[in-house]
Homo-oligomer: A and B are copies of this chain.
């Protein structure tokens, strides 16, 4: 991905409603050129969609937690994500290479709801859990691609 595309992706990561006119001004291209590039970024699956960003505190779900998940029966077929997917309090689900099998990020309204959620997870997926409560979030879901790391080495 070239420099100009990275710049466009970064701009849209910060403001997904930028008009092609404004995107053009910010990237030094014409409206048509930016439009073309964004369409290709979408076609190539680099930009997969656009979303509103919520303030979870204001939205009434101020309590976040990270939950490590380990199956009770390690020999059972692992369909844990399928068993948990319907629980909407589960923000993210990562399959990981550490002591646990999965790490979940969850959001709930209160400690009581967290307690209920943990029971729901354990019974739905037959797992044990270890929960780390989030106290505060200095930042979250920041857009990457600023390029202060090592440059792409190979492709």
Contact = CB atoms under 8 A, between A and B. Distances in A.
Nearest to A47: B52
Given A60-B152, A149-B113, A150-B112, A138 B95 contact: yes
A133 B50 contact: no
Interface residues of A, number: 74
Assembly stoichiometry (copies): 2
Contacts of A149: 88-89, 108-109, 113, 116-117
Contacts of A135: 94-97
A101 to B, nearest CB: 10
Given A15-B49, A141-B141, A60 B1 contact: yes
Nearest to A107: B144
Contacts of A113: 149-150
Nearest to A17: B50
Interface of A: 1, 9, 12-17, 44-56, 58-61, 64, 66, 81, 85-98, 100, 103, 107-110, 112-113, 116-117, 132-150, 152-153, 155
